[in-house]
Structure 1
């Protein structure tokens, strides 16, 4: 094992070789590392430094700082696992998730070796006895890191599984031990006599951060799944989870930056995807918006900050400003570009600037491995909107053959785009509403909630295209669905309710576009919710889940129903 002085010397030399600028304050950071009293404290500070490098677009430097000394302590290796998980989250590449998973497993093994007093064989005994009162500060941190490493492993498993509810639930069950450790750590912190106030502070807010992540994550799951998980000891509570994370965010600890970023991921990505952020009378994320401003000041020009700034603008319907934040190629980590290309495609597409959108779907096809089938379909839609029919047809013909399987199962999104592409190739559909349909599934149509121009340009487009549909075409139902959606966004929820009820009454027996009926039921519930008709709205969300089945993207709609109902519940509690 490298000595403490030897590691500090290596760190200084490493950073000198990379010619870090004075503006980044790395000299001060290294001085801070030099003052560490032991290898665990030093590992915490190195982990924090690598995190700051990462958020400052110095991705390679962050990795190079930690990778050569990953075996120095549980925190050194844990920092490497965190970097690998962040990389996997940005690329959504199965190979990257596998690397993150293996790294997490190695971190757990290091923690087990540090705890080696039969801890693994008598976990409950160790907790219930007073043994932990005599544990060293370092040993307590090995316990905390073990819980986080299991959480990281689970994140890699769950995020790579898509929207499979059962895969997500199984992931939760697999990490029950991690959750229980965080709970015990929150009790240990006050009962143990700490030698180091620094390590006590890091331990206390590390436990709060971990519990906050779990509670926030579990709050997204449907009630039936949550009840099962609560039975085995879990708890899902959005407000409690956010409160714990916000405490950790303000604690000036090595997990503070993560505690500010995770709610951004929750609100700007997960809840936006689920439909409740960026919605009229949707979730409030004021504190997270404030934290984004703080991180923007701390990491000026950082890719993660800019992506979140763009996402916030998308939520607000300000797509032109969002585009200004999405600048590919300005950093050394190419995989961020894929996420940027994705959002640029949708921003330009929702503005009907399909010539620009086409550029970014082409880049995704060329550079990203996530889903060639979905990227091809997106590219074909852009070509179709530009009138390049023959080229679009060629692209659509390839979609079916580009489908992938994860753990032997087809990906629902890919099954959907394959069916749509095949319908075009076979002459069964002109995909007049193809772009809007896919935008709805990824929730980009909701940009019209706060941008009247988007609503108007698409209303006019749809009204023109419906004239070419046969009277008995099932795509008439798609037209009516978007008509109702745009009425909601135009501030006319009562009229939208009427249109959606007509759709549900007159198109009861759709054979191909079956998904329209549950989607229309959800949007009817949303229109009623906006009118404060909460009881009727709740019934619609329940009907959407219980009345319809066996349609593409069913799990996604169930998530949205659950999250809309959580808004109704919050409104009810507020009015009590």
Structure 2
């Protein structure tokens, strides 16, 4: 730029405009977090065609709504709005490409730097919508390209703001927050993926640095900047969901989640989002009644976005599952099947599963019949990026046996699905809940022994062994747990349908060995699981757990070395 007074005045004006935009967007986010969703959008809407930040935040709110409703029209509208936001950002970007390699004379203005980070964020969010919008692999590849492009912009930005070329304007804290979110999110997310999946996504050579990603996200979440909420939400999702799906049960994750939540709970005491995560942390701690109260409060806190209710219903369903209150759990599965589009096949399967846990002579709610419900499950199959979600595939496979005129009953379908969501770790601190599950398993085992032998008998017995092993582990009876897992592994050649049982039993056995200080044996079993078993139900989730366990042990020479962004 020229050094004339006119240029300086224009630059100053630009900075003021940027600050005003950021201040107004912060106010809109504040409304959003206080459950004033419509007012938040109204505050943003007038400037979506002229302000990159108004455009980005407006589209982000619509995307959050679309991902919760799962309505095709909402997804399409959010996608178009995010595309428009990206076009607004493009108008503020420097015309020539590249960031970090430019000479000092070509240094970017503050507005241009903010345009880069907003553009990258639009790319990333459009990728997420692309994965949801179309039912083919071309869509998946397009989404992958958007992710990669976003990744490269963030990488260049990160290098550039550390160089002497970077101009630190009055809104630099928001720029740093955006980069912390982007680089942190990529490092954390990529660290969770096994290398073979990264190669498919064309991220070969980058497996991410988890601790570095967490550190950047914490910096972003605890600072006063526009992305602090996004950083906090991503961290809360990681600490309260991803770590548990990956099989971890560490105290550290819960403590970190509580530390993150504390300032947000004080500022937004009735904020539905934070009530939900507070409920989730209590659930993880085994405080099921406290969790139920918080999820119910989350539903009462606002009525504008029913999608928040659905998130709470899902958790309430599991909370009542842990208490073996089958009819209450059924009630929430039924609500979800009627109101939520996320996975009707899963919800109907869970309804049938809960009814199947009731005594034969007990009245069924609404006169529904579990056999009829199980038979309906395949009719609700959906596809995302050309593929059915793994949990839906699993539910449909399990429901297949009810196609027969006189079907063989699934022994403990609720407890089996509870295992898939790592629910046994949720009750590990509550001996009475584990004891209740053990009673259910012993009764199911007795029923199997008293029933005529059939084609499912070995599979069903092995499932009982796996789940009993988890209960024994919760009770500290590690030798008994080991024997249960070994019984499954020794039956490998006899299993006809549920081939997932052996690799998962090997993973549980390896985790048990880690607890007992048998590190080398654990590593051997994890490698065996990783290399010897393919094409079984929920394979990706099991492989993620293997990757997480090996990463924790720092013992996987077969993987690419981590390369930090």
Mapped pair 1:142 → 2:121: no
Mapped pair 1:355 → 2:327: yes
The 1:394–1:195 alpha-carbon spacing in structure 2 relative to 1, beyond 3 Å, is closer
- How many residue pairs get aligned? The number is 528
* 1:365 positional shift: 1.2
Deviations 1:309-344 (Å, cap 9, x if unpaired)?
Answer: 111112112211110111224302111011111111
- Counterpart contact for 1:215–1:238, Cα < 8 Å: yes
Aligned residue number for residue 86 of structure 1: 64
The 1:166–1:467 alpha-carbon spacing in structure 2 relative to 1, beyond 3 Å, is farther
| 1:451 equivalent among 407, 422, 430 | 430
The 1:537–1:465 alpha-carbon spacing in structure 2 relative to 1, beyond 3 Å, is same
Mapped pair 1:206 → 2:185: no
- Counterpart contact for 1:338–1:364, Cα < 8 Å: yes
- Give the 3-state SS of the residue equivalent to 2:369 in structure 1: helix
- Counterpart contact for 1:115–1:142, Cα < 8 Å: yes
Mapped pair 1:301 → 2:273: no
Alignment TM-score, normalising by the size of structure 1: 0.84
* 1:275 positional shift: 1.8
- Give the 3-state SS of the residue equivalent to 2:234 in structure 1: helix
| 1:51 equivalent among 29, 34, 47 | 29
| 2:169 equivalent among 174, 190, 196 | 196
Aligned residue number for residue 307 of structure 2: 335
Give, in whole Å, the separation in 2 of the partners of 1:133 and 1:518. Answer: 56
- Counterpart contact for 1:214–1:241, Cα < 8 Å: yes
| 2:287 equivalent among 303, 318, 329 | 318
- Give the 3-state SS of the residue equivalent to 2:301 in structure 1: coil
Give, in whole Å, the separation in 2 of the partners of 1:215 and 1:256. Answer: 17
Give, in whole Å, the separation in 2 of the partners of 1:438 and 1:48. Answer: 41
| 1:528 equivalent among 503, 513, 517 | 513
Give, in whole Å, the separation in 2 of the partners of 1:160 and 1:274. Answer: 27
Aligned residue number for residue 9 of structure 1: none
The 1:246–1:406 alpha-carbon spacing in structure 2 relative to 1, beyond 3 Å, is closer
The 1:170–1:428 alpha-carbon spacing in structure 2 relative to 1, beyond 3 Å, is farther
* 1:540 positional shift: 1.9
| 2:216 equivalent among 237, 241, 244 | 244
Give, in whole Å, the separation in 2 of the partners of 1:36 and 1:136. Answer: 9
Give the 5 Å matches for 1:407-486.
407-426=385-404, 427-469=406-448, 470=451, 473-474=457-458, 475-486=460-471
- Counterpart contact for 2:120–2:150, Cα < 8 Å: yes
Aligned residue number for residue 367 of structure 1: 339
Give, in whole Å, the separation in 1 of the partners of 2:105 and 2:160. Answer: 7
- Give the 3-state SS of the residue equivalent to 1:78 in structure 2: helix
* 1:386 positional shift: 2.9
- Counterpart contact for 1:404–1:410, Cα < 8 Å: yes
Aligned residue number for residue 110 of structure 1: 88
* 1:422 positional shift: 2.9
The alignment yields a C-alpha RMSD, in angstroms, of 2.9
* 1:167 positional shift: 9.0
Give, in whole Å, the separation in 1 of the partners of 2:25 and 2:531. Answer: 47
* 1:437 positional shift: 0.7
Give the 5 Å matches for 1:370-381.
370-381=342-353
Alignment TM-score, normalising by the size of structure 2: 0.86
- Counterpart contact for 1:179–1:234, Cα < 8 Å: no
Deviations 1:117-145 (Å, cap 9, x if unpaired)?
Answer: 2x3xxx24x54122685332111111111
- Give the 3-state SS of the residue equivalent to 2:494 in structure 1: coil
Larger mean CA deviation between 381-390 and 56-65 belongs to 381-390
* 1:302 positional shift: 0.8
Give, in whole Å, the separation in 2 of the partners of 1:504 and 1:168. Answer: 36
Give, in whole Å, the separation in 1 of the partners of 2:37 and 2:295. Answer: 18
- Counterpart contact for 1:81–1:107, Cα < 8 Å: yes
Structure 1 gaps, min length 5: 1-34
Q: Which has the higher relative contact order, 1 or 2, with Cα contacts under 8 A spaced 6 or more apart?
A: 2
The 1:359–1:537 alpha-carbon spacing in structure 2 relative to 1, beyond 3 Å, is same
Deviations 1:102-125 (Å, cap 9, x if unpaired)?
Answer: 3322222222222252x3xxx24x
Give, in whole Å, the separation in 2 of the partners of 1:465 and 1:540. Answer: 29
| 1:503 equivalent among 488, 495, 507 | 488
The 1:90–1:274 alpha-carbon spacing in structure 2 relative to 1, beyond 3 Å, is farther
Deviations 1:12-55 (Å, cap 9, x if unpaired)?
Answer: xxxxxxxxxxxxxxxxxxxxxxx996332222122222222111
The 1:419–1:304 alpha-carbon spacing in structure 2 relative to 1, beyond 3 Å, is same
- Give the 3-state SS of the residue equivalent to 1:107 in structure 2: helix
- Counterpart contact for 1:350–1:454, Cα < 8 Å: yes
Aligned residue number for residue 31 of structure 1: none
* 1:377 positional shift: 0.7
* 1:173 positional shift: 4.9
